[in-house]
Structure 1
C-alpha cells in the first residue's frame, strides 16, 4: 500500500501510463469532459477537492513542459490566474472555446470539485532527464 503521494488508485495508475507529450486536462466541475480521454473524476462536493489542491498534487508527481489555459481566467477568476501564473511562467493563454477543442486530444482528464469559473489547465507532460 502506498503511504505518500497520490493515493487514489485510478489516478495513480493513469499518471503512471503517461509519456512525453501527453496531455492532462485538470478541470473544474463545469468544463465539458470530452469523449475519448481517460477520466478520473475526483469531484465530491462543490469546491472539494479544489483546483489548487489537485493541481499541486499532480505537479508533485508529473514533469510538465508546458501548460495552456483559457484567457478568460484573467478576468473571471483572479485566484486561479495567480495560481497558474505562479506555476507556469510560460503559460499559454487561448480562448476558452479553443481550450475545449484542445482538451479533446488529452490522454487524461482529472475533474476536480472546483466551482469557480475557468479553473482549467491543459498540461503537457515532459521528461525527467
Structure 2
C-alpha cells in the first residue's frame, strides 16, 4: 500500500507505463473521450476532483516537457489558463477542435469532475535525465 503520491491504483499503474513523448490528456467532465487511449475516470461529482487538483497531482509524479490547451480557455476559464501557464514549461494553444483531434493520440486520458469550460490539457511526458 502506498502512503503518499497518487493512491488510485489504476492511475498509478497507468503512469508507470508512460514514456518520453507520451501524451496524457487531463480533461473536464464534458470533454469527449476518444476511442483508443487508456482512460482513468476520476470524476465523482461536478467539480470533484477539480482540474487543478488533478493537474497538480500529476505534475508531482511526472516529468512533463510541455502541454497543449484550447485557445478558448483564456477567455472562458482564465483561472485554469493561469494555472497551466504558471505550471507548464512550454504551453501551446490551439483551437478546441484541434485539441480534440490531438487527444486521439494520447496514451492516457484522466477525466476529472471539473465542470468549468475548456479545463483540458494534453501533457507531453519528458524524461528525468
Q: Aligned residue for 1:91?
A: 91
Partners of 2:8 and 2:84 lie apart in 1 by 24
Q: Match of 1:53?
A: 53
Post-superposition Cα deviations, 1:64-109, rounded to whole Å, max 9, x if no partner, equal 0110000000000011011011012421000000000000000000
Runs (5+) with no aligned partner, structure 1: none
Query: C-alpha distance in 2, partners of 1:98/1:86?
Result: 23
Q: Map of 1:1-129 to 2, 5 A cutoff?
A: 1-129=1-129
Q: Give the TM-score normalised by the residue count of structure 1.
A: 0.99
What is the RMSD computed on CA atoms of the aligned residues? Answer: 0.6
Q: How many residues matched?
A: 129
Q: TM-score, structure 2 length as denominator?
A: 0.99
Unaligned runs of 5+ in 2: none
